[in-house]
Amino acid sequence: MTQPRPAADYRAHLAEIARRTTAALEKSGYDSLILQAGEPPGWFRDDQTYPYRPHADFRLWLPLLDAPGSLLQFTPGRRPRLIFFVARDFWYQPASLPDSDWPAEFDVVTVHSRAEARAALQGPLQRTAWIGDALPELIAWGIGAINPEHLLRRLDYARAIKTPYEIECLRTANRIAASGHAAARAKFLAGGSEFDIHQAFCDACGQREQELPYNAIVAINEAAAVLHYQVLRRTPPTRARSLLLDAGASFAGYGSDITRTATAGDGADDRDFAAMVAALDRAQQALCAQVRPGADWRDIHASAVRAIAAVLVEAGVLRCSVEESLTNGAARLFFPHGIGHMLGLQVHDVGGFMADEEGATIARPALDPALRLTRVLQPGFVVTMEPGLYFIDALLEPARAADVARAIDWQRVAALQPYGGIRIEDNLAVTAQGCENLTRGIHHE
Ligand code: GLY
Ligand code: MN
Ligand code: MN
């Protein structure tokens, strides 16, 4: 995969991560930190492994994606030490450092075994914290603490604010995914199956499936009602009505998370559904314009429920007012997830509920148990904006027998259910005044 370009802002990124980590270590009472890259987990009673990706805490420091067995040690005031594991192996290709500028920022020690890795660690380790898998050796190594919560919380809290380097990586991950989405849409309109569309996405991004930041959701027709639909049907439908594609690309360890809903056909129901997609797209853009420092994400979510309700009322799916649909539960039957989440090294990035670095949390609103972010936005946060509406049997069936049934036009539901649902998702970086839409290249001030 491509390596990150910006040497200058990578250096500034590394300095900022070192600064944050120094402060977190001091407050938590540790002298040094070891970050484990991790190792690919094995299949049960087999010699195969699951796809490998380095732990996010390790990836924060360096864009090294082929690093099983490696460690990074950071001691404040010293250059970070990369203990780079190179297997002596003729069955698999051993890892190698990429030809890039960033390795020069590290004190690199190459090792071939865990014992050599232990020998390469600096200093007494009783005041050293380890972040990674609890390897059996760690006790004998004399490591001070394994994944200490109070340190993890401080690091997670700080990670919400992305450096300019990270935002550039996310911008690139968006650009790569945009070409994937265009190719996927073309494949859908040409009559491709979910499987074909997925292949087209990977091809256009130049990424194999295991490199993608998350399993792409490729949902034709009614399957779009399954929020994290994971099947890739090999045969195209007899009649293609809609495609919900939720797919991102990776760059230097960062991932984009983008959803588009495409329509096909020009019958009356097709046109009605396409009009709902267009209405939700407009609503999504209006919601993006609300993203700015000081905005409380819980308020943006409440505003999203209202905007989605308005689309449903306009489309004749709801037979009550927008206000009523918020209190009688009708709106949330069609929009059961949160309006967005933090994005970065992880698709659902850490720190979404944190009130402070000590670990106090901000609760989700009682009516919105699926919300993944409850914080007040600050410059540097990167979030997704992903309103959706879906015709989900598991939610609608029980509603038929409840009071809320009167607020729903069930004939409209029956006509639209074969289309599954709609989601439109962009990635936004909060700026000093507003936000930058990394997916569409639009700035809101
Ligand atoms: N792709 C998962 C999500 O949108 O949260
Ligand atoms: Mn998504
Ligand atoms: Mn998302």
How would you classify residue 316: left for phi > 0, otherwise alpha for psi between -120 and 50, otherwise beta?
left
- Only one residue has tokens 């919900």, namely 244
Q: Is there an atom of ligand 1 within 6 Å of 386 CB?
A: yes
CA pair distance 221, 29, nearest whole angstrom:
55
**Amino acid at residue number 401:** A
Q: Is there an atom of ligand 1 within 6 Å of 246 CB?
A: yes
Q: CATH 3.40.350.10 occupies which residues in the chain?
A: 7-159
Which H helix or E strand runs over 444?
A: strand 442-444
**Amino acid at residue number 74:** F
List pLDDT tens digits, range 65-84: 999 999 999 999 999 999 99
CA pair distance 445, 439, nearest whole angstrom:
16
Q: Please say if the pLDDT value at position 6 is more than 70.
A: no
How high is the pLDDT of residue 66?
Answer: 96
Ligand 1 atom closest to the CA of 423, numbered from 1: 4
Under CATH, domain 164-444 is a member of which superfamily? Creatinase/methionine aminopeptidase superfamily (3.90.230.10)
Q: How far is the CA of 348 from the centre of ligand 1 (A)?
A: 8
- CB atoms within 5 A of ion ligand 2 belong to 246, 257, 259, 425
- Only one residue has tokens 């190459």, namely 110
Q: Please tell me whether residue 168 adopts helix, strand or coil conformation.
A: helix
In words, the CATH class of domain 7-159 is alpha beta
List pLDDT tens digits, range 114-150: 999 999 999 899 999 999 999 999 999 999 999 999 9
Q: Is there an atom of ligand 1 within 6 Å of 195 CB?
A: no
Q: Please say if the pLDDT value at position 178 is more than 60.
A: yes
Global confidence as pTM? 0.97
- Only one residue has tokens 């200093």, namely 123
Count of positions (residues) in the chain? 445
Q: What is the DSSP letter of 166?
A: H
In the predicted model, what is the mean pLDDT of residues 159-188?
Answer: 98
Residue ID of nearest Cα to ligand 1 atom 4? 257
Q: Is there an atom of ligand 1 within 6 Å of 214 CB?
A: yes
Q: Which residues of 355-386 are buried (b: 16+ CB within 10 A; e: fewer)?
A: eebeeeebebeeebeebbbbbebebbbbbbbb
Q: What is the DSSP letter of 118?
A: H
What does R_g of the chain's alpha carbons equal in angstroms? Answer: 24
Pocket test of ligand 1: the residue of 347, 383, 385, 427 to mutate, having most ligand atoms within 8 Å of its CB, is 347
Q: Please tell me whether residue 99 adopts helix, strand or coil conformation.
A: coil
CA pair distance 165, 20, nearest whole angstrom:
15
Question: Six-digit token pair at 243?
Answer: 């495609």
Ligand 1 atom closest to the CA of 348, numbered from 1: 5
How high is the pLDDT of residue 5?
Answer: 58
Starting from the CA of residue 214, give the closest ligand.
Answer: 1
- How many other C-beta atoms can be found within 10 angstroms of the C-beta atom of residue 17? 21
With 0-12 CB in 10 A as exposed, 13-18 as middle and 19+ as buried, what is 24?
buried
CA pair distance 248, 346, nearest whole angstrom:
12
Q: CATH 3.90.230.10 occupies which residues in the chain?
A: 164-444
Pocket test of ligand 1: the residue of 217, 258, 426 to mutate, having most ligand atoms within 8 Å of its CB, is 217
Report the candidate in 252, 178, 183 with the shortest Cα–Cα distance to residue 213.
Answer: 252
Report the candidate in 19, 129, 5 with the shortest Cα–Cα distance to residue 63.
Answer: 5
In the predicted model, what is the mean pLDDT of residues 224-229?
Answer: 98
CA pair distance 127, 265, nearest whole angstrom:
65
List pLDDT tens digits, range 350-397: 999 999 999 899 999 999 999 999 999 999 999 999 999 999 999 999
